[in-house]
Amino acid sequence: LLHEIEVWSALAGSRPGRIDEWWQRVLTQQFHDIIPGSSIAWVHDDAEAEHAAIAEEIGAEVRAVLAPTGKDTTVMNPSSAAFSGVIDVDGVPVHADIPAFGWSSPCPTLPADGTTCVQVGGDITVTGGGTSFTIDSNGTLTSIVHNGRDIIPDDDFAGFVLRADTPAEYDNWDIDMADANRTAEFVAAVGPPTVVEQHALRTTVECTYGTGASTWTVRYSLTGSGRIDITLDADWHESERRMQWRVPTDIHSHEAVCGTQFGHVRRARHGNTSWDIARFEVCAHRYVAVAEPGFGVAIMADGPRGYDVRNDALQLTVMRSPRFPDPEADRGRQHVEWAVRPLDSLVDVAPLEEEAETLAHPPRVVSGSPTVPNDVVSWNVPGVLISALKPADDGSGDIIIRAWETTGGRRTGSFDVTGTRSAVPCDALEDPVAPALDRDGTGYAVTLGAFEIVTLRLTR
């Protein structure tokens, strides 16, 4: 929400009066024992209440800045990557094509790529966008086929597993290697999967799983994009157990590509050294991916998650249930989302980063036509994303763009923002550090090195 209010305020030529306060309150909740959930219950309750209050306040400010008029449905895209995909409008899937930092109406016609569903016995197969998945009566995905090739090896399946989670100390902080290496307990569905949505744009299969103490309902959705979106709603009451979602991979890859805040790192999938062995659980921002030439797969999320990328599987840690210092940590209602993205290649991670950007900053549906300018940001620097588009802190009305190179290579291109007359490189404090960028008929020329972060001040 902070990202979104900064985008729309900058394009509208305003700066919210409480933006500094909101940032300070949010960053307070980033304290090292608050953000990972390793505090006492009192702190967790306070953090949840504070986040809810901030979200309500910023949401009201977003609506005020957009100031939509009329009753037509409009879809806003706060991401620096153009969005083309399926969204929900009043519970109905519709297709939308939206420019970066812009808005549009839902498309009146359906795209060529749709979805189909076939049920044979207890197995349900959903197909769309060159991808298909099959879920059986146990609630396991027995195949994920992309362009004719199965990601999952024969006689294996993707599904939920439970592991003991009993760190020797620092319960809420640690996951112990011994627990990660123990044999996991497979969790089967408590009933057969059912098709709960069958639409040309999207097909969704729902399945419920459970243990003696907990239940969780999962929706597997496929659209013409070929990405499988997974949504979990749980009533979680385990104790010292960790749940993972495991997808085995029939892919020859010695390393996994793990997203970071501004770039990615490559981590070994084997235990050749003591350093490799210690990486039995790793953190990644937005995605982990494995690939061989011409084929691969990624698990995507809207933020940082914990993963086990060792050997021949990718395992996402979905939920834990530690006992100290908060004996009720993670218990109760939980909502978690992730996705499986089949890949044709991982030579260039730029397309994956762009999709991850739209997943982290999803479109917003509003009633009416917004008053903010539309489609005024032209960004033609392949492999470079804008992490922040915001009003200048000094209240001058200037626009600040913070961009970063995603692939680990050198990138050159041009950009423009309608109504601006200069673009000056700055430091993180928004003070100039170099002469203004050259401008020609295509916009301002810019070059970024590998994983470089640049800050630019644009003057109207």
Interatomic CA distance for residues 402 and 392, integer angstroms: 11
Strand partners, 232: 218, 336
Q: Which CATH class is domain 115-344?
A: mainly beta
C-alpha to C-alpha distance for 29 and 54, rounded to whole angstroms: 11
Query: What pLDDT shows up at residue 169?
Result: 86
Strand duo 453-459 + 202-210: pairing: unpaired
Cα distance between residue 159 and residue 246, in whole Å: 5
Angle at 46 between CA 41 and CA 51, to 5 degrees: 125
Q: Which residue has the tokens 């627990």?
A: 179
> How many helices and strands, by DSSP H and E, does the chain display?
6, 31
CA distances from 216 to 159, 212, 229 (A): 13, 12, 16
Helix 2-12 to helix 41-66 angle (10° resolution) is: 20
pTM over 0.85: yes
**CATH no. of 377-459:** 2.60.40.2220
- Distance between CA 147 and CA 131 in Å, rounded? 7
At 154, list the tokens.
């024969």
The length of the chain, given as a count of residues: 460
Residue 263 pairs in a beta bridge with 260
- Residue ranges of domains in the chain: 1-67, 115-344, 377-459
Low-confidence residues in the chain, pLDDT < 70: none
Find out whether 158 and 141 touch, Cβ atoms under 8 Å: yes
Phi/psi for 53 (5° steps) reads: -65, -45
Measured CA to CA, the distance from residue 292 to residue 308 in angstroms comes to 19
DSSP class of 432: B
